[in-house]
Amino acid sequence: MILAQLVFYLLAFVTVAAAVMVIAARNPVHSVLFLILAFFNSAGLFILLGAEFLGMLLVVVYVGAVAVLFLFVVMMLDINFVQLREGFLHYLPVGALVGLILLVELGLVFGSMALEPALGAAAGVAADGGATNTEAIGRLLYTDYFYLFQAAGIVLLVAMIGAMTLTMRHRPDAKRQDIGRQVRRRRSETLEVRKVPPRTGI
């Protein structure tokens, strides 16, 4: 049990430190790397608490979404890709450090589960002992918290539409549909009747 507590304190310390570095780092690339580190450590905390579904969800959804967030930041800040590629060796030490910390922490988490089988067995069963974590979370989301779950989906939809609206650029040479102009058009503007003599072209 002492090993599990040590791993918990290590993950918690690295999570807090990475969260502080996300807002303290001046370089957006470094901020994204520290954000990924914070997400991985939070997932490790969830796994130690027996909520393996939330841990994997945090890795799959949020760490996967960080790549999209990084692209969005690059587009908004108008970062020069040539300079970004030239500075790859400059970012390599920070990325290697983050990767090394993640490997060490993953080894500690799985090592603590291997040394203490009770900790690994508790990760697959919910607190009530009658259902798995995934089933228990599904029951709560679609019964007690159904309206809050739908409200969260609406908030995310509005945020997605707002992000697309902010990044959309109006180009004068692009053709767009004007429904009001189509409705107000007259026959003389769209149709022209010509009398064509026989055996001749237009």
Sign of torsion over alpha carbons 93, 34, 73, 71: positive
Predicted confidence at residue 158, as pLDDT, reads 93
Task: With beta carbons less than 8 A apart as the criterion, state whether 40 and 28 touch.
Answer: no
Task: With beta carbons less than 8 A apart as the criterion, state whether 37 and 98 touch.
Answer: yes
> Quick one: which H or E segment has residue 123?
none
Task: With beta carbons less than 8 A apart as the criterion, state whether 41 and 16 touch.
Answer: no
User: How many residues does the structure list for the chain?
Assistant: 202
pTM over 0.75: no
For residue 30, what are the contacts with CB-CB under 8 A and spacing of at least 6?
21, 91, 94
Name residue 105's amino acid.
Answer: E
pLDDT tens for 14-72 read 888 988 888 888 777 778 888 888 888 888 888 888 788 888 888 888 877 776 777 67
Predicted confidence at residue 147, as pLDDT, reads 92
pLDDT tens for 80-101 read 656 655 556 666 777 788 778 8
